[in-house]
Structure 1
Amino acid sequence: MIVKEKITHLQLGCLLFGFIAGFESMFLTETKLMRQDVWIANLFNTAAGIALLWIISFVQRQYPDLNLTEICDKLLGKWISKALLCVYLLNNMETLSGGFRAVSMFYTTVILPNTSSDYLILMYAACSTYAVYIGLGTLARTNLVILPFFLLGFLATCLFTIPEIQTNPFLPQLKSALPNRVLGSAHLFTFTFSQVITFGFLMSRVENLKKIFPSCAIAILMTSIYLIMISYLTLSSLGFNYVQTSTYPFFSTIQIVKFGEYLERIEVLLVGLWTVLTLGYMVIMQYVFTLVAGHVFGISKMKPFVVAIGLLCFVHASKSYIRTADHFSYGIKIYPLSSILPCIVFPVLLLVMTLIKRKREAKSL
């Protein structure tokens, strides 16, 4: 956080893949809502995510010497920029708190039932704060180490799940209710691909700005393939009814994989790798929150500010979404609406202002 270390476009793409793939595979809420039509939501949101990525990377390329917060100030003016950045900060904090709460729910439900969720949230917040302190470069290199092992474990799980497949769960098509399709698509977009705006605040740290779009677009495509695959495997191996009632359906899919007497060790290994990726999700959100908040409030000494943000994250997460039902209800009904302004309207507004500014400059010449 102290030294602004540059990262490569490949590292940014891998961070984006781990960011989306790690967290979204936990609940598979869109799969529960859309069932056999979930692939439609994935394809639609892939196109929307790539479009959003193009918008943000285009704006960043026009101002290679500025980061996104400075670009906002330049295009929108100081006070409008601060107002919109504050809206983003609120969305970031609710996303971050939801992430902390979701992981603690998973562990207290599946692995550590007698452990207080507040203790787990405190541990996650401490790890996340330390990761923010040591910097983006270290996080990017760690992600590159973890990701291959995660993918190998996932591929092994796929191979051993194939014998359990009896039918094609994506047929017949278009059988889910229209409201469920809308809710499922909105949920998937706001929890995954709409957070491309978060990576927009990191693009100025990439060495080659021109390669950001292709690298991150490939990451989004790979993420979409990954999400479609786990939805297919989960629905085909567990069935619609079981997926509907299971809190963590993909974890249940992993449990049916038979590796002989070492089943539990393999299962724990996969959960451990997934936990690291999910923690990376929270680190990136907290890192960007710290950057944006430092800019908005004019903080010059970032070292104590990092710790203060970590404490804020812990307090907010420990007091939010205490009941599982509240967490699910908020994620499906409220969060998609609260994310529209900071995650969709905000980048589109930056694009419009960039095009207007370019047109004015061209006329003046």
Structure 2
Amino acid sequence: MLDNGKVSIQQIAILILLASIGDSILILPSAIAGVAGQDTWISCLVGIVLGLAVLAIMLLLARKFPRDSYIQIMNKLLGRWAGGALGAVLLCYTLIIMTTMVREVGDFMVSQMMTDTPLWSIHILLVLIMIFSVRGGIETIGRTSEIFLPIFVIFVAAFLLMTMPNMEPIKLQPIMGKGWFPVMQGSVFMTTMTFTELFAFLFLLPYVKRDKHMERDILLAAGLGGMAVSMVATACILVLGSYISAHHLYPAYALAKKISIGNFLERVEALLAVIWVISVFFKAVVFMYAFNTGVAHLLRLKDQRSLALPVGIILFSLADVIAPNISYYNDVLNKDVPFSDLTFGLVIPLGLLLVAYIRGRMADSSRQGS
């Protein structure tokens, strides 16, 4: 074990809840509405079912190798060279996701809230907090998530309640107006961004104090996170309509600007910003911890905490060059990210389970033969 700390089932469930919401709550409604239109809510529900099935496959892999991280499982099943090569590709993709999240926060803050603030200042502030969090270890991350959870839940509930007076159910019609294909396209976005990116937790599960309800609690937490994203996406359609939701970079933020209760309670978009920054921060920290752990296992290091500062410097440097602008990022998000997420969150875990099954059958046959 690279980290002597342990987290409880409750703490890992909270982290999964926050990570499943992550950056999805702000940018996913636009992606889904762009293909599913007014049927976004159906896409979200289908995506939750598919996503929980994907997560169940990851948990099955973790159950077979309870003390090993994702890369250690690859090395055990595929050998040092093949497992190491696949692990290196996985780490590169993990770094890309982590960098993208930092850039997302920077772009959002600079374009929507702090327009006179240099982009690099937002990046360096977020990266510094991530470095300190990861250096604190898994226990520190878990305990911090418990502190922020009540604030997060209250803010999400308040945000959804305040949008209700502006909702128009007629905007959900016609139901299934374009058939099933756009709905399934939208469900792919929901499944990939909300659930398959939870593969990072395959690096954290060895540090969990396990009990018989662990898998149930993890699936429940991920399901609740998916429902939160679904409610926000549906609220965007009910208030803004499918066209504006599809063509606005941040439809949930535009939704927050529409809130006006009694001409008194207005300008509450900062509430959504707090919700989003909290969830993105914890998702980014989980990915940074997973990346450091994976590098340490790949290079056979004894401690992953020493990697926090150099990885943070790399992260800060890449955040400025990962994409020329937000439009480019959204184009990549819609075309390439779902397939990459499915590869590392579904295809590879399924492949590893198949290899483990075949090797187990071969071992049984050799024992029977002898």
TM-score normalized with structure 1 length: 0.92
Q: Provide the residue aligned with 2:193 in structure 1.
A: 191
- 1:169–1:151 CA distance, 2 compared to 1 (3 A): farther
**1:33-72 deviation digits (Å, cap 9, x = unpaired):** 3122223332332222222222222222223333333222
Out of 278, 281, 286, which is 2:280 matched to?
A: 278
Q: CA deviation at 1:92?
A: 0.9
Mapped pair 1:305 → 2:286: no
Secondary structure in 1 matching 2:169: coil
* Cα distance in structure 1, aligned partners of 2:229 and 2:286: 21
Structure 1 residue aligned with 2:127, among 125, 128, 132?
125
Q: Does 1:7 align with 2:10?
A: no
- 5+ residue gaps, structure 1, are none
Q: Which residue pairs with 2:98 in the alignment?
A: 96
Q: Deviations over 1:187-207 (max 9, x none)?
A: 332222111211112111111
Does 1:167 pair with 2:169?
yes
The separation in 1 between residues aligned to 2:317 and 2:184, in whole angstroms, is 33
Letter in 2 for 1:5: G
Preserved contact between residue 75 and residue 353 of structure 1 (Cα < 8 Å): yes
What one-letter code is carried by the residue in structure 2 that aligns with 1:19? A
The superposition leaves residues 202-236 of structure 1 with CA deviations (integer Å, 9 ceiling, x where unpaired) of 11111115433201111122122212211221111
> Once the 2 structures are TM-superposed, how far is the Cα of residue 2 of structure 1 from its aligned partner?
6.6
* C-alpha contact 1:203 1:212 (8 A) present in aligned 2: no
1:333 lines up with 2:335 in the alignment: yes
CA-to-partner distance for each residue in 1:261-304, whole Å, 9 max, x for gaps? 4544x543442243122111111111101111111122335343
Shift in Å at residue 107 of structure 1?
0.3
Of 235, 238, 241, the residue aligned with 2:240 is: 238
Name the CA shift for 1:332/1:178 in 2 (closer, same or farther; >3 Å).
farther
Query: What is residue 23 of structure 1 aligned with on the other side?
Result: 23
Deviation (angstroms), 1:16: 0.9
Supply the AA of the counterpart residue of 1:7: V
Partners of 2:353 and 2:177 lie apart in 1 by 37
| 2:324 aligned with 1:319 | no
Equivalent position amino acid for 1:53 in 2: L
| 1:348 corresponds to 2:319 | no
Amino acid at match of 2:4: K
Aligned to 2:86: 84
CA distance 1:347–1:322, shift in 2 (3 Å): same
Whether 2:203 is the aligned partner of 1:201: answer yes
Aligned-residue identity in percent: 21
Cα distance in 1 for residues equivalent to 2:243 and 2:214: 41
- C-alpha distance after superposition, 1:121-151 (max 9, x if no partner): 1221111111111112211222122122222
Q: 1:137–1:147: structure 2 CA closer, same or farther, 3 Å change rule?
A: same
**Aligned with 1:137 (options 136, 139, 161):** 139
SS of the residue 1:5 aligns to? coil
Give the 3 Å change call, closer, same or farther, for CA 112–173 of structure 1 in structure 2: same
Provide closer, same or farther for how the CA distance between residues 222 and 267 of structure 1 changes in structure 2, counting only shifts above 3 A: same
**Distance of 2:186 and 2:56 partners within structure 1:** 24
Residues 203 and 209 of structure 1 are in contact (CA less than 8 Å); yes or no, is this contact kept in structure 2?
A: no
Distance 2:302 2:199 in 1: 24
CA–CA distance in 2 between the matches of 1:154 and 1:341? 31
Residue 32 (structure 1) aligns with: 34
Counterpart Cα distance in 1 of 2:93 and 2:315: 13
Residue by residue, what CA displacement relative to the aligned partner does 1:313-334 show, whole Å, maximum 9, x if unpaired?
1111111112111111111112
Q: Residue 166 and residue 64 in structure 1: after superposition, are their counterparts in 2 closer, same or farther (change >3 A)?
A: closer
SS in 2 for 1:157: helix
Q: Please, what TM-score do these two structures have when normalized by structure 2?
A: 0.90
Query: Number of aligned pairs?
Result: 364
How many angstroms apart in 2 are the aligned matches of 1:330 and 1:251?
21
- Partners of 1:118 and 1:179 in 2: CA distance: 41
Deviates more, 1:338-347 or 1:121-130: 338-347
Alpha-carbon distance change, 302 to 258 in structure 1, aligned in 2, over 3 angstroms: same
Cα distance in 2, alignment partners of residues 98 and 164 from structure 1: 33
Give the C-alpha shift of residue 245 in structure 1.
Answer: 3.0
Shift of 1:336: 2.0
- Distance in structure 1 (CA, Å) of the matches to 2:211 and 2:363: 22
| Match among 234, 258, 261 for residue 260 of structure 2 | 258
- Farther-moved stretch of structure 1 (144-153 vs 64-73): 64-73
Contact 1:187 1:331 in 2 (8 A): no
